[in-house]
Amino acid sequence: MIVYIIRRLMQAALVMVVMSALVFAGIYLIGDLRGRPITGKALTRMIRIGVAKAGLSAECKAHGLRKAALRRLAENQASTKGIAAVSGHRTLKEIERYTAKASQTKLAADAMALIPDEGEA
């Protein structure tokens, strides 16, 4: 059950990450029915509806979902450039702040797995 809830949360978080990148090089990714960029208020409403439809707590906010998605990207070996591409952050410092809660145990185990066994080298 916990895995199911986490999976639903992460799906919602990934949607939020994509939705948070409204403008990229002047191209709007989310618009209204006429193709115009949506307002921040409209995006907040969309997020609230999405959170409810995903069965998540009303306490789930866009920022928290976005941060959770970035942490998960870090835990799954996404590069800082990849995380920056998803999040829109421009500096390493910003990315490090968002991914600081990534599981150091998982990151260490994944990093150590990159070292080949003596017999394989």
- How confident is the model over 18-48, as pLDDT tens digits? 555 444 445 555 677 777 777 778 878 888 8
33: its two tokens: 């029915």
Burial of 119 (C-beta count, 10 Å sphere; 0-12/13-18/19+): exposed
DSSP bridge pairs for 24: 27
Per-residue pLDDT tens digits for 59-107: 888 888 888 889 999 999 999 999 998 888 889 999 999 899 888 888 8
The pTM of this model reads: 0.60
Nearest to 98 by CA among 87, 106, 109, 114: 87
- Whether residue 27 contacts residue 33, with contact meaning beta carbons closer than 8 Å, is answered with no
